[in-house]
Chains A and B, each alone.
Chain A
Amino acid sequence: MHLLVCGGTGCRASSSDAIVESLKSELAANGLENDVQVIMTGCFGFCEKGPIVKVLPDNTFYTQVKPEDAAEIVREHVVKGRKVARLLYTDPAKNEHVSDSKHMGFYRKQIRIALRNCGFINPENIDEYIARDGYQAIGKAITEMDPQQTIDIIKKSGLRGRGGGGFPTGLKWEIASKNKADQKYVVCNADEGDPGAFMDRSILEGDPHSVIEAMSICGYCIGASKGLVYIRAEYPLAIKRLKVAIDQAREYGLLGNNILGSNFSFDIELRYGAGAFVCGEETALIHSMEGLRGEPTVKPPFPAESGYLGKPTNVNNVETFANVPVIILKGADWYSSIGTEKSKGTKVFALAGKINNVGLIEVPMGITLREVIFEIGGGIKNGKKFKAVQTGGPSGGCLTEKHLDTPIDFDNLIAAGSMMGSGGMIVMDEDDCMVAVAKFYLDFTVEESCGKCSPCRIGNKRLYETLEKITKGEGTMEDLDRLRNLSQVIKDTALCGLGQTSPNPVLSTLDNFYHEYLAHVNDRKCPAGQCKSLMQYVIDPEACVGCTACARNCPVNAISGERKKPHEIDTAICIKCGACIEKCKFNAISIQ
């Protein structure tokens, strides 16, 4: 019997280390320490209900486990074989417990390829990776195929870059392989920077060997003996596990000279990013690794021609790499049978926002947004109405009801005015103001622009300021025209992908929620009730009994009135903090 405890960053933050310790000591107390193994795995994905403990072989899925639950799990489940019902997942639709994760709505439609080992193996134990066919793909490539044959499999599989660009991976490898040089480099882009996205981190934390193996395969294909992982310094756990994995791979002769007795040598080093979003752009990433300011340069030359230290360099994202070993082992046909015509395989998404099941999911390309949000995601929180879903990270677009049945793939998302990006998916409900949402994302891109090109450096700032003006109720119709023109010019003229996509939240909300902009500009109203400047707190004199509770709790003394007589709010002083509403027992205060 195995007890798998989620060791992802989220669950660890909710004491999964302590859960492991408690389980171990409870097992020891029952004399079972040699019969039952407690393993800390990578992320299970269902972060909403973490920390997760899974019992094998019966696949029981315990949610929101606390260290003090360990005794009961051991006593009831391990010793007596009785599941602890109160810790099982409850299907909200049927209101009944589901014990096997396979039957949970969250997992039912998922196909886990990149995440195949996350939540199954101990990422710090290479033997567990090997036990799940790990390092067989590199073995197969080296011993049975030449580099071009290996590239052909990746090409035929239809795998496209998962970092956002969607460039065909096999083609990228082929270009790098054809450029002649004394030294080439394989770079893994682990500079995951989209707010709310954590797929790369989860893969590195949960299955680092899959990335190491894939980088070696890529090195074999393009003729590189050096690999570099560019990883954000803010990912200490991923860095630690990657380091452990690299050491173990070296120890097993799976990295280093003459891998598996062949002529192929390959080793990997880590490079740390200082947390600049733009360093996810491959030229900026390479400059950062070279010790230069992390800012992009014009392509061509592409890294495949002149990359790290001027040498041919192949840059792929973590998730892209994680797919590679499986494709080599199971074949291109198997992989390309999943997905849509032009987007093959699966995609990992980070579900966040006003959705019931926040977490990390991997679904086949072609699944609809509706399936993702309402089946896997369990619908909108608190029974509210769905309003929009923002895909593609901070520079993606906001899609609406009418896009819910669009099959998700690279091209459809772009056609709809958004993009795949690295797979962030943020769900919004009726309480979200779309102008404020656009402003929120611009705030991020203004902060993260490198400052090199004028449209991104200044243009995004001006977009932000205009949005702020509108949310303050000071916008004009000219501002709306200006927003659109400026957005289009920034897309048209910015130097790199960051700037070329940063106006997407503005354009897509202008397209899909123009009426909300009009309400702000013409009626000076925020339909969602989010923009403070457009709200007024009003006391209903009929309902107010003059208890003075509101006046006593107002931090800025904006409320006046005599005892037992209706009170009034001076809107010029009111800071709209909401303290009065909370204190009023008579529902006399409302927002207008």
Chain B
Amino acid sequence: METVKLTIDNREIEVPKGTTIYKAAKSLGIDIPVLCYMDLHDLKVENKPAGCRICVVEVEGRRNLAPSCSTDCMNGMVVKTHTTRVINARRTVMELILSDHPKDCLTCPKSGHCELQDIAVRLGIREIPGQEFAEMSTYKKDFSPSIIRDVDKCIMCRRCETMCNDIQTVGALSAVNRGFMSVVAPAFEQDLEKSPCTFCGQCVAVCPTGALTEVDHTAKVIRALSDPTKTVLVQTAPAVRAALGEEFGLKPGTSVTGKMAAALRKIGFDFVFDTDFAADLTIMEEGTELLDRLTRHLNGDKSVRLPILTSCCPAWVNFFETNYNDMLDVPSSAKSPQQMFGAIAKSYFAEKLGKKRDELVVVSVMPCLAKKYECQRDEFKHDNNPDVDYSISTRELAHLIKSFNINFVDLADEDFDRPLGESTGAGVIFGATGGVIEAAVRTAYEVQTGKPLPKVDFTELRGMDGIRSATIDFNGLPINIGIAHGLGNARKLLDDVRAGKANYHAIEIMACPGGCIGGGGQPLHHGDSSIIKARMAAIYREDAGKTIRKSHENPYIKQLYEEFLGKPMSEKAHHLLHTHYFKKGNKDIFI
């Protein structure tokens, strides 16, 4: 490997050619402040527009200061990271950025997690000269079912744009307007809801300020909890337990399932249930649908479309409804676990309680922002009463726990309530990329072959590569599996399917990099992608620790079919647990 030698702050260093000054300095323990820069190394995402100019350093012989995030080291370079010239420039630039930033930090959703705030503290900014006659740039606020855009707080770091365009290939966000009035926004001044946005929330996950935040439902949840006429149920998605601890200072990758159940009970939920139960139910329906399509396909039925695509991820559903709406019969018709839970809770469980559906309030805790949109979709309502009333993110749950004065770290583990709280290891791994298809394979294999699996772990389906594929031997029948996470990868896979270039039988797609563990509603990773990997490890540890690891062996799932649904894909199951898709587009924007 070719290397270059240089001096940073009077210390010599040799680095591989192509290393930036920022990274070289970091390897020496010199932490140059950065704002717009973001390196999600494990996801192969690097955002370095060199726009904020906070990371500037002095390079001997250079006329102006160099942005260290995007200036490569050169042989013989002499770099100084904190001369008075640098410090003055950094402070002045920071004062400029703050001079055009609202000062409502006290009530800002990002307060305490704001990277702009962190740097202002670090640089010791105490006043903004000339603020009294400084105009502020403004742009309309945008409220969607999932995401709030308050772009007055946008600092043009362009991270959201990188996620939306380069990683997700959604193209909902790009820089608009010029100069002082420039912001990142959907084209043609559209609202996010009218744009191709899928509500995946990856923009929110990387936004350093309060410009992009989730719609907060915690107040509504508290109101429901304090209403004596309501029975409030909560369900928690698999990925939440692998990340929630981070909000309380626990090491990334610490699984907090038991503490979370205890905390939810302390908050006052009447029933603390688990979306993992519904994940097992999803496998029953989706796995059966896969086998049904596969059998008919093998028997020569030309009307059957393969591959079958998973449909658990609401952002992915939005994406194919917009971009692949010529293929709406390809995805599985199975509802997502969140919606299956809601449908069962407000029918089967309501009957058990002897309550009417509108006496129940179903709250979901999700690592996801698209779930907020999903639960508001019309097809998931009966008489205008939604199957899931409120979806809150992992971050919102953390706020709830904090506001209820709960000492989370010291809580003793508790179990979920039954029947809708019992789950298998197959339900847990829904939280990581490849998990849904692995869970489906565990069940489909045994149902199809009638034999027990030789081993439960399908490590060939795991990992962080954006597109993966594997062939699983179903007792002599090779089943081709495809996996993609991140919508950009999904697009590549789907383009191949559309062009007839792929011969998969089943494909799992998750909109967020890493799957739900990297969801837009998770604790902020602030550009540290190793956190996502740690969460993934926690998910698989949780699975390995479960006694039952196949969905069809969940006794409460069996009971549900016996008492209520009949069998998978029965008429009742079809009515409650399956859905259909709609053509979405944005034709109206050109009118």
Task: Spell out A's residues near B (CB within 8 Å).
Answer: 276, 293, 295, 297-298, 300, 446-462, 465-466, 469, 478-479, 482, 485-486, 489, 491-495, 500
Contact = CB atoms under 8 A, between A and B. Distances in A.
A450 B96 contact: no
A457 B53 contact: no
B129 A489 contact: no
A458 B178 contact: no
A500 B64 CA distance: 8
Given A452-B182, A456-B179, A495-B50, 9 more contacts: A447-B178, A451-B179, A454-B156, A457-B156, A457-B179, A460-B179, A462-B130, A462-B134, A489-B89
Given A298-B50, A493-B93, A457 B180 contact: yes
B449 interface: no
B47 to A, nearest CB: 13
Interface string B127-138: 001100111000
A453 B133 contact: no
B225 to A, nearest CB: 44
A459 B96 contact: yes
A453 B52 contact: yes
B409 interface: no
Contacts of A478: 129
A546 B67 CA distance: 68
Interface string B29-68: 0000000000000000000011111001000000011010
A239 to B, nearest CB: 23
Contact of B53 (A300, A485, A494): A494
A450 B130 contact: no
Given A298-B67, A298-B70, A482-B129, A495 B51 contact: yes
B539 to A, nearest CB: 38
Given A458-B97, A465-B130, A453 B51 contact: yes
26 contacts: A276-B178, A295-B175, A446-B180, A449-B178, A449-B180, A450-B178, A451-B181, A452-B51, A452-B182, A453-B53, A454-B52, A454-B53, A455-B53, A455-B93, A455-B96, A461-B100, A461-B180, A462-B130, A465-B130, A465-B134, A465-B135, A489-B88, A491-B64, A492-B65, A495-B53, A500-B64
Given A446-B179, A465-B130, A495-B51, A454 B174 contact: no
B177 interface: yes
| Among A298, A447, A449, A494, residue most surrounded by chain B Cβ atoms (within 10 Å) | A298
Contacts of B270: none
Nearest to A482: B129
B378 to A, nearest CB: 37
B92 interface: yes
| Among B51, B65, B177, B182, residue most surrounded by chain A Cβ atoms (within 10 Å) | B51
Nearest to A485: B92
B479 to A, nearest CB: 40
| Among B97, B100, B133, residue most surrounded by chain A Cβ atoms (within 10 Å) | B133
A465 B179 contact: no
Nearest to B58: A492
Nearest to B177: A451
B376 interface: no
Given A454-B97, A491-B64, A293 B92 contact: no
| Among A447, A482, A492, residue most surrounded by chain B Cβ atoms (within 10 Å) | A492
Given A454-B97, A462-B134, A495-B51, A447 B179 contact: yes
B71 interface: yes
B53 A449 contact: no
B177 A300 contact: no
Given A298-B71, A453-B51, A458-B99, A465 B180 contact: no
Nearest to A445: B179
B72 interface: yes
A528 to B, nearest CB: 23
A491 B65 CA distance: 9
A449 B179 contact: yes
B85 interface: yes
B155 interface: yes
Contacts of A489: 88-89, 92-93
Contact of B133 (A446, A451, A465, A491): A465
Contacts of A449: 178-180
Contacts of A465: 130, 133-135
Closest 10 CB pairs of A and B: A451-B182, A449-B179, A489-B92, A458-B96, A493-B53, A461-B180, A298-B50, A298-B70, A489-B89, A453-B51
Contact of B182 (A457, A493, A494, A495): A457
A462 B65 CA distance: 21
A486 B99 CA distance: 13
A350 to B, nearest CB: 25
A465 B134 CA distance: 7
A297 B88 CA distance: 24
| Among B130, B155, B175, B180, residue most surrounded by chain A Cβ atoms (within 10 Å) | B180
B130 A454 contact: no
Interface string B275-316: 000000000000000000000000000000000000000000
A451 B92 contact: no
Given A450-B179, A462-B99, A465-B133, A486 B92 contact: yes
Nearest to B53: A493
A451 B88 contact: no
Interface in B533-557: none
A491 B92 CA distance: 12
Nearest to A292: B174
B85 to A, nearest CB: 7
A485 B85 CA distance: 11
| Among B53, B72, B100, residue most surrounded by chain A Cβ atoms (within 10 Å) | B53
A495 B52 CA distance: 9
A479 to B, nearest CB: 8
Interface string B153-176: 001100000000000000000110
Given A447-B178, A449-B180, A493 B65 contact: yes
Nearest to A295: B175
A202 to B, nearest CB: 27
B123 to A, nearest CB: 14
Given A454-B97, A492-B65, A493-B53, A293 B175 contact: yes
| Among B70, B89, B92, B97, residue most surrounded by chain A Cβ atoms (within 10 Å) | B92
A46 B129 CA distance: 48
B69 to A, nearest CB: 9
Contacts of B174: 293
A406 B135 CA distance: 40
| Among B85, B133, B177, B178, residue most surrounded by chain A Cβ atoms (within 10 Å) | B178
